[in-house]
Every structure is written in structure tokens, then in C-alpha cells.
A and B are shown apart, each in its own frame.
Chain A
Amino acid sequence: MIEVNGLTKRYGEKYAIKDVGFKIGEGEIVGLLGPNGAGKSTTMNIMTGYLSATSGTVSVNGFDIRENPIEAKKNIGYLPELPPLYPDMTVKAYLDFMFNLKQVKANREEHISKICKLVKIDAVYPRLIKNLSKGFRQRVGIAQALIGTPPILVLDEPTVGLDPKQIVEIRDLIANLGRRHTILVSSHILHEIQAVCNRIIIINQGEIVADGKRDDIIRKVTEDARFTVRVAGPRDEVAKTLVKIAGVDKIVDDGVRESGSNDFIIIPKAKVDVRREVFERLADRKWPIISMVSGQLTLEEVFLRLTDTADSE
């Protein structure tokens, strides 16, 4: 569906993006995640033909965006960071204009009314765009991208500046659209991406630092399967018992966090799951486990770690 290869955009000496490459298959909903200024919009702008890359190629449904721009653009619906709306037009006039501009071959009224129902803008259809709230403008922006039913949707920060209720609504809408379209959606908010995307690409300072399914990325970044147990029992004896378990590499005493118990960080040998064993040994000695918490990083931590490493380089 989309193939991006070695995409680089340079402004003088500064790289906006550097050697960005990924493939998106049909039906995928991919999240492009990165801090502000990471190169998300630049990447999307190049993919949709708004900017030219210094080097690299973008192929959309088999059409190169540079060599065959018209065909490539027919396959993409794009919502830029700032929805490109004419404030002096009504929603109706604007969608009509986009319908004509994209030279869509469908029944106009049917097509537009279907989109309006889908993105829920029927109520504001006859109104001037300049009088609409931000949430509705964003929806009109999405409606515009949907005109012509392009197989691919590129949505740049579709929920930015919306209130929590609107965010949930737009997120549901994207999930809904994902049934019929291949979607690339960017955001700097993890929550959003996590909720709708089945694949995540993390970009930082113009370079891709991770690409994969959510849990795969987390596993890759977390060095080991460490976890913390809180045990109500004599400290030294518990430690001795734990260290004897086959598969445990190291025990770190994490001190007392709750009276009457002690915390231990258990670092198992690579790829060994010792949680069951730990439970059984401690149960044998009648030392209850108050809690057991996985030390795996959350997506937030993974994100921070990935973007921090690159910062300190």
C-alpha cells in the first residue's frame, strides 16, 4: 500500500528527517509517534506531495509520488495538522468544491451525505466554516480527506486541541474508518495511538527509533523480565530462598515500602519466567506475597527512553 524508502529532507545543514523508511500494508492502522518537532508532519507532508524530499522515494499503491503524482494523490486522503478550510465557505460549498477538485466519479449528493453522516457533521452542513467550533472543523477536515473514498488516509494529529470527549469521538471514528481504509495517524500523545493503532512507528529527531507492534516494542526496549515482589517474611531468609531458585540471576533488596514486608527486585536469567516458582517457594514457607509487579516498561517509559537516548547522543 505505502512504501517509504530512505526519505530525507534537509534544510541547509539541518535534517528535518533522515533516512526514514517503512512499509504499510493494506488494512493496517499505523501510529506515527514522536515528540513535537520530531519530523512527523514533514514525513506526512512528503508522503502526500506537499513537500519534496531531498532524497528517497514514496510509493502509494504502486504509484511514485514524484513520478506519478496525480495517480498517487488519488489514493490518499490527507488531513494536515491545520485542516485546510476556507473560513468564508459553508460546509456544503466546501465539500462540493473538494468533490469537484478531486474529480470524484460518484453520485455527488449520496457520496457527500454518506461522509457527513459518518463524521457526524450533518447538523452543521449549511453553516459557514468560520462559525464552527474546533471539533467540527476537525471533522470537516476529516470529511474532506474522505471525499473520493481514497484507500489510504493520512491524518496528522487529528485530535490536537480537542476536548476529552471530542478526542474519544475522533478516536472511535478513526477505529471505525480503519475497517475500510489503511490509516497512518500521527500524534505526540501515546494514549491515542495505543487505543487505535495495531502498529507503532516511533520517530525522534527525524529518525525512526522503533517500529512494530506495541508489546514487541516494549519487550525490545525492556532489557530483561525483571519484576518486584513484596513479601511478608523475614528479610534475610526470604532473600536466601529467592536466590536459590533456578533461573534467578540476581536479587536486589528494594527495602521496606510497607510495614511488615520487604520488597525484592528479582532479575531472572534471560528469557526464563520464574514467577510461578517464586510463588510456590514462598508459599511453602508460608511467607505471603503481598504484591508482584512486572518491571516491564510502559509504553510511556519506552517512548521516553527511546527519545531520551537519541537526545543524549
Chain B
Amino acid sequence: MRAIIKREFSSYFAHPVGYLFIGVTFLMASFSFFIDVFLYGTTDISPVFSSLFGLMYLIVPLITMRLLSEEKRHKTEQIFYTSPVTMTEVVLGKFFGACLVYIVATAIVFVHQVVLAFYGSPEWGLLICRYLGLVLLGGLLIGIGLVVSALTESQAVAAIITLAVTMIMDRIDSLTQSSSSETLIKITEWISPGHHFTGFFNGILNVADIFYYISMTGLLLFIAVRILDRKRWA
């Protein structure tokens, strides 16, 4: 699995896409930091997290679109099927490879926090809590992208479908906002990644929220493994 993580991570930097993802994340986060925090003269970094939260839905498809679709197109997937590795190792390798790029990109918030430390005494605990939420959200989004890219040979198709799914996920709780059914509202709230992010954002580590992200991501990875395993039977 380590071999796959390593290859996946380094392959992001053989293409512009890795630089693009990190660059756009740095740029947008720093832009928000400058206008919402620095110019305001506050040490509250929460607007940066709000921007990153929205941005990730849009740009995570960039780093997931080629994960499996590219392998299929170049027929390099044959390597995985005929080498002594399991599909679970392949999927986890791909997943963690993409997660690493995501973690590197979003770690920019720590730089912002260090800058703030010169002007006041920022809450490091809150930052770490929010960052954990952001990373868990990333895992979920990457999981969605991984499943979609297992289904198509085209990177563009993978990116567009992933974007559609993440955008729907983002607003899924609005679906029932005018509903009178408590159950329906509960269900859509439970599905909504944003709903579970609120706790982290406010500095509350809630087991249910952590469980939500990890179980949803696990389920998606399991689906990706099943898709790859099934392909042998096609």
C-alpha cells in the first residue's frame, strides 16, 4: 500500500494538477485571511475556514478525477490486478495519496495562525479542532471522487460528476427546509457534511460527527473496492 501512496502523491507533482490544487487553496485561503482577518484587525481565523469549507467542494474533484479513471485509460490498472496486492490496498493507497495532497494544501491555515500569533494569542485548540473537521470533510469528498472515478475512463466525466455529487451533498439539508416531517429533516441533516462540520467549527469534538465522517468515508471506500473487484467479472 505504501508503494501506491508514494506513487500517487508524487504523480500529483508530475502534472500541473497537484500544484494547481495547492496553489488555488493557498491563494483563496490567504485572500480570505487578508480581507476577513488581517484588514479587520481580528485574531479570529474562522472566515478562512468558512472559505476553505466551500472551496473544497469545488476543487477536490480536481485531485480525484484521475485516481482510477486514468489507470483504466492507460490500462495500468492491470498492474494492480496482476500484482500480489488486494483491491483494498489499491483503494486505500489511492485514497491516502490524495489525502496527503489535501492535507498539505489545507495546512496553510497553520501559517496564518502563526502570523496571528505575533499580534495576539490565538486559540490553538480551536484551530486544531477545526482543522480536524476540514481533514475529515476532505476524506469524505475524496471518497466520493474515488467512487466516481472508478466508474469512468474519462477524467472530465469523473470531475463533473464528482462536482455534481459534492454540490448536492453540500445543500442536501436545504431539501427539507420547508418540510414538516421531523424525520425527513433529521435524515437530510444527518447526511449533510456541513451539518456535521458545525461542531468542529465551534470547537466541539462530537463523537457522532467523527463517526459520521469516518463511517461515510469507509462506506465509499468499500464501494470503490467492490467496483474494482467486480470489474474482473465483466
Please give the residue numbers on chain A whose beta carbons come within 8 Å of chain B beta carbons, in ascending order: 48-52, 69-71, 73-74, 76, 78, 80, 82, 84-89, 93, 97-98, 100-103, 144
Q: Complex Cα distance A51/B75, Å?
A: 13
Q: Is the CB of A49 within 8 A of B82?
A: yes
Q: Is the CB of A101 within 8 A of B83?
A: yes
CB distance from B153 to the nearest CB of A (A): 14
Tell which of B3, B6, B10, B78 has the most Cβ of chain A within 10 Å: B78
CB distance from A266 to the nearest CB of B (A): 53
| Other-chain residue from A71, A73, A85 in contact with B83 (beta carbon distance below 8 A) | A73
What are 11 A-B contacts with C-beta separation under 8 Å? A50-B232, A70-B84, A70-B86, A80-B82, A88-B14, A93-B7, A97-B3, A98-B79, A101-B3, A101-B85, A102-B83
Interface bits B66-87 vs A (CB < 8 Å: 1, else 0): 0000000011111101111110
B5-21: which have CB < 8 Å to A?
A: 6-7, 10-11, 14-15
- B100 interfacial by beta-carbon distance below 8 Å: no
User: Smallest CB-CB separation from A74: which chain B residue?
Assistant: B84
CB distance from B13 to the nearest CB of A (A): 10
Provide the residues of chain B in CB contact with A80, threshold 8 Å. 75, 78, 82
Query: 10 smallest A-B Cβ distances: which pairs?
Result: A100-B3, A88-B14, A48-B82, A52-B232, A101-B3, A73-B84, A50-B81, A84-B76, A70-B84, A84-B78
| A84-B75 CB under 8 A given contacts A50-B81, A50-B82, A97-B3 | yes
Q: Complex Cα distance A98/B78, Å?
A: 12
Q: Is the CB of A84 within 8 A of B79?
A: yes
Q: Is the CB of A52 within 8 A of B233?
A: yes
Provide the residues of chain A in CB contact with B2, threshold 8 Å. 100
Provide the residues of chain A in CB contact with B157, threshold 8 Å. none
Q: Complex Cα distance A50/B71, Å?
A: 14
Q: Complex Cα distance A71/B83, Å?
A: 10
Q: Complex Cα distance A101/B10, Å?
A: 15
Please give the residue numbers on chain B whose beta carbons come within 8 Å of chain A beta carbons, in ascending order: 2-4, 6-7, 10-11, 14-15, 74-79, 81-86, 232-233
Q: Complex Cα distance A49/B78, Å?
A: 9
Tell which of A50, A70, A71, A102 has the most Cβ of chain B within 10 Å: A50
Q: Complex Cα distance A80/B75, Å?
A: 9
Q: Complex Cα distance A144/B76, Å?
A: 12
CB distance from A145 to the nearest CB of B (A): 9
Provide the residues of chain A in CB contact with B11, threshold 8 Å. 86, 88-89
Provide the residues of chain A in CB contact with B4, threshold 8 Å. 101
| Other-chain residue from A76, A86, A103 in contact with B82 (beta carbon distance below 8 A) | A76
Q: Complex Cα distance A89/B81, Å?
A: 20
Q: Complex Cα distance A93/B79, Å?
A: 15
CB distance from A94 to the nearest CB of B (A): 9
CB distance from B228 to the nearest CB of A (A): 12
Provide the residues of chain B in CB contact with A70, threshold 8 Å. 84-86
CB distance from B234 to the nearest CB of A (A): 8
Q: Complex Cα distance A90/B198, Å?
A: 45
Provide the residues of chain B in CB contact with A49, threshold 8 Å. 81-82, 232
Given A78-B78, A86-B76, A88-B15, 19 more A-B residue pairs with CB atoms under 8 Å apart are: A48-B81, A49-B232, A50-B78, A50-B82, A51-B232, A70-B84, A70-B85, A71-B84, A73-B82, A76-B82, A84-B74, A84-B79, A86-B74, A87-B74, A101-B3, A101-B79, A101-B85, A103-B84, A144-B79
Provide the residues of chain B in CB contact with A74, threshold 8 Å. 84
Tell which of B11, B77, B232 has the most Cβ of chain A within 10 Å: B232
Q: Complex Cα distance A246/B15, Å?
A: 80
Q: Complex Cα distance A69/B88, Å?
A: 14
Provide the residues of chain A in CB contact with B81, threshold 8 Å. 48-50
User: Smallest CB-CB separation from A76: which chain B residue?
Assistant: B82
Provide the residues of chain A in CB contact with B74, threshold 8 Å. 84-87
